[in-house]
C-alpha cells in the first residue's frame, strides 16, 4: 500500500449513516436515544464523536496495510485525557476503549487526524492552520514510532506520558493565555474523585448517602425497579461477585473492604448514550466512599470488518485492550456478566468513576493548544501501538526522515497523505451530520437538544 494511497477516501461503506445509528439503537435504552441524537446534532465534531461505526464502515471500504496493532477503535482527540496512575501520578493517555479491537494501525491514525481537522473547522481555524495541526500530529506519530522502534520492548513498555509538576514543557510550548487555560484543566482534574462526585450526585437519606434522581440522566435503581429495593444490597453483592474475580488478588483485598449501598443508571458521553451505564456507591468500614462505574460492553464496531477470534466477554475485551494500550490502568478495572433489572444478561466493564480524570474542551481550544494537544496524542497513540504491534515494521513502512518517503518511495509522505484524507473525511462528516439533521426534522429519529 503506497504511502500516497492513504490520502484516498473510498466510496462510503455506510451510504445511509442514519441507518447505521438506528441499528446501534436497537440494543440501547429507547428513552435515551433522543439524548444521543440531540448531542450528536449539536455540531459536526459531536456527530463525529458518536459515529465510530460509520467511520469503521468507511475505512473498511478501502485498502489497508495489514500491519496489525491493538486499535483503540475510537481514537479521536477527545478520547485522550488525564487520569491518575496507581502511584498517584498524573498521566496523559487514551481513555476510551469501548471499540478496541486488533486491526491496521492507520485506522486509529486517520480517526485522530480527521478529528483534528473537524475540531479546527469548528473552532474557526483557517485551512492552512488546520492542515499544519493535522500534519504535526501525524508526524508526531510517525517519528515517535521510529523512536520506539529503536528501543527495547521493556523500554517501550515503561514509557509513560507523565505530566511533570509545574508543566514546564507545556509552559515552554504555549503562549501565556493558552498555558493558563491548560493548567486549569490539570488542576481541576485533581479535584475529580469519588468524594467530589459524592457531593454532586448524592443526598443523605436516614443517615446514609443515596443517589439523587435526575431523570433521564441519573435514575436510582429504586426508581427503575422498586421491587428490588428491599433486597438491593444482596442483589448488588451477587452482581459484583464475577467482577471481583477479574481483579488481581491484592485488589480483591481492597474491594472487599467496601460494601455497595446504592446503584443508579447514568447517561454518559455522546456515542455511548443509550448503552447501559451504572454508578455503584460503595462505603468502607469507616464510611469513606468509592464510586465505581459499570458500563455495558457490546461488540466493537470494528468486529464486523476485521475478523479476529472473539473473547468470551465483551467487558473482558475492553479491559484487556485497555491494559495493553495504556501505560497505567485503573487498579480497579475489571469486568463481569450479569442479569440486569430486566433479567437480560449483559457484559460490563467496571472502573473507578472520576479518578483525577480530566479532558480538554476541544471546542474552546485556541490554535496553539490544539496543535500541542494533537502532537501529544500522536506520541501517545504511537506508544500504545508499539506495545502490541511490530513497531519496527511500522516504522520502516512510514519512514523516519523529515519527508518520510522511505516506505512508499513515491515522493508523497504519510503526513501529507493522511492530512489529505482528514480533509476529505471532514467533508464527508459534514454531510453525515446534515443527514442526521434531516432525519430529525423529518421525524425519522427523535432528538432532545436540552440535555
Q: Does a structural domain hold residue 179?
A: no
Comparing 49-58, 132-141, 324-333, 421-430, the range with the smallest average pLDDT is 324-333
Domain final position from 325, 352, 379: 352
Number of structural domains (the chain) is 2
How much is the pLDDT for 145? 96
Q: Does a structural domain hold residue 231?
A: yes
Q: Is the pLDDT of residue 32 over 90?
A: yes
How much is the pLDDT for 232? 64
Q: Does a structural domain hold residue 60?
A: yes
**pTM of the predicted structure, to 2 decimals:** 0.91
Q: Is 384 in the same domain as 344?
A: no
Q: Does a structural domain hold residue 449?
A: no
Domain final position from 317, 352, 387: 352
Q: Is 43 in the same domain as 157?
A: yes
Q: Is 148 in the same domain as 54?
A: yes
Using one digit for the tens of pLDDT, what is the confidence trace for 134-163? 999 999 999 999 999 999 999 999 887 766
Q: Is 340 in the same domain as 372?
A: no
Q: Is 8 in the same domain as 155?
A: yes
Q: Does a structural domain hold residue 184?
A: no
Q: Is 205 in the same domain as 262?
A: yes
Q: Does a structural domain hold residue 173?
A: no
Q: Is 379 in the same domain as 347?
A: no
Structural domain boundaries enclosing 77: 3-162+364-441
CA angle, residues 422, 418, 397, in degrees to nearest 5: 160
CA atoms within 13 A on the CB side of 404: 27
How much is the pLDDT for 410? 42
Helices (H), 159-294: 168-173, 176-190, 194-201, 221-224, 232-245, 249-255
Q: Is 388 in the same domain as 254?
A: no
Q: Please classify residue 245 by burial: count the beta carbons closer than 10 Å to its beta carbon, then call 0-12 exposed, 13-18 middle and 19+ buried.
A: exposed
Q: Is 347 in the same domain as 370?
A: no
CA 45 to CA 426: how far, in whole Å?
9
Q: Is 240 in the same domain as 287?
A: yes
Domain final position from 352, 373, 408: 352
Using one digit for the tens of pLDDT, what is the confidence trace for 271-288? 788 788 889 999 999 988
Q: Does a structural domain hold residue 176?
A: no
Q: Does a structural domain hold residue 189?
A: no
Comparing 81-90, 122-131, 358-367, 410-419, the range with the smallest average pLDDT is 81-90
- Which bin fits 158, alpha (ψ -120 to 50), beta or left (φ > 0)? alpha
Q: Is 48 in the same domain as 133?
A: yes
Q: Is 9 in the same domain as 129?
A: yes
Of the chain, the percentage scoring pLDDT greater than 90 comes to 62
Helices 33-41 and 414-441 sit at what angle, rounded to 10 degrees?
A: 120
pLDDT mean over 40-66 = 96
Amino acid at each position: 500500500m503506497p504511502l500516497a494511497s492513504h490520502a484516498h477516501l473510498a466510496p462510503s461503506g455506510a451510504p445511509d449513516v442514519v441507518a447505521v445509528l438506528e441499528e446501534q439503537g436497537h440494543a440501547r435504552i429507547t428513552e435515551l436515544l433522543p439524548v444521543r441524537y440531540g448531542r450528536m446534532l449539536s455540531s459536526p465534531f459531536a456527530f463525529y464523536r458518536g459515529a465510530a461505526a460509520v467511520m469503521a464502515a468507511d475505512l473498511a471500504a478501502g485498502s489497508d496495510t495489514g500491519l496489525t496493532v491493538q486499535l483503540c477503535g475510537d481514537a479521536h482527540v477527545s478520547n485522550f485525557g488525564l487520569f491518575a496512575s496507581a502511584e498517584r501520578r498524573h498521566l496523559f493517555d487514551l481513555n476510551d476503549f469501548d471499540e478496541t479491537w486488533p486491526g491496521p494501525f492507520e485506522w486509529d491514525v486517520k480517526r485522530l487526524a480527521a478529528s483534528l481537522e473537524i475540531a479546527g473547522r469548528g473552532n474557526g481555524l483557517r485551512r492552512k492552520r488546520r492542515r499544519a495541526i493535522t500534519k504535526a500530529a501525524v508526524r508526531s506519530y510517525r517519528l515517535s514510532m521510529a523512536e520506539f522502534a529503536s528501543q527495547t520492548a521493556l523500554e517501550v513498555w515503561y514509557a509513560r506520558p507523565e505530566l511533570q509538576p509545574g508543566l514546564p514543557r507545556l509552559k515552554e510550548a504555549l503562549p501565556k493565555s493558552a498555558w493558563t487555560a491548560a493548567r486549569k484543566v490539570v488542576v481541576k482534574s485533581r479535584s475529580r474523585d469519588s468524594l467530589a462526585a459524592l457531593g454532586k450526585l448524592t443526598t443523605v437519606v436516614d443517615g446514609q448517602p443515596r443517589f439523587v434522581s435526575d431523570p433521564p440522566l441519573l435514575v436510582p435503581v429504586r426508581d427503575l425497579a422498586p421491587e428490588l429495593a428491599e433486597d438491593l444490597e444482596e442483589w448488588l453483592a451477587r452482581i459484583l461477585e464475577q467482577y471481583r474475580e477479574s481483579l488481581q488478588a491484592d485488589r480483591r483485598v481492597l474491594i472487599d473492604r467496601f460494601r455497595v449501598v446504592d446503584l443508579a443508571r447514568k447517561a454518559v458521553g455522546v456515542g455511548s448514550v443509550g448503552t447501559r451505564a451504572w454508578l455503584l456507591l460503595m462505603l468502607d468500614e469507616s464510611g469513606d466512599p468509592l464510586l465505581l462505574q459499570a458500563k455495558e460492553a457490546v461488540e466493537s464496531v470494528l468486529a464486523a470488518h476485521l475478523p479476529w477470534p472473539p473473547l468470551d466477554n465483551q467487558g473482558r475485551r475492553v479491559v484487556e485492550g485497555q491494559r495493553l494500550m495504556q501505560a497505567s490502568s485503573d487498579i480497579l478495572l475489571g469486568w463481569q456478566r450479569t442479569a440486569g433489572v430486566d433479567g437480560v444478561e449483559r457484559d460490563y466493564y467496571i472502573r473507578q468513576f472520576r479518578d483525577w480524570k480530566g479532558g480538554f474542551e476541544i471546542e474552546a481550544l485556541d490554535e496553539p493548544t490544539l496543535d500541542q494537544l494533537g502532537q501529544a496524542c500522536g506520541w501517545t497513540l504511537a506508544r500504545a501501538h508499539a506495545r502490541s504491534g511490530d513497531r519496527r515494521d511500522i516504522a520502516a513502512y512510514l519512514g523516519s526522515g523529515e519527508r518520510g518517503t522511505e516506505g512508499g518511495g513515491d515522493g508523497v509522505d504519510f503526513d501529507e497523505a493522511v492530512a489529505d484524507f482528514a480533509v476529505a473525511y471532514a467533508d464527508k462528516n459534514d454531510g453525515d451530520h446534515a443527514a442526521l439533521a434531516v432525519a430529525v426534522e423529518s421525524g425519522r429519529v427523535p432528538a432532545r437538544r436540552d440535555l
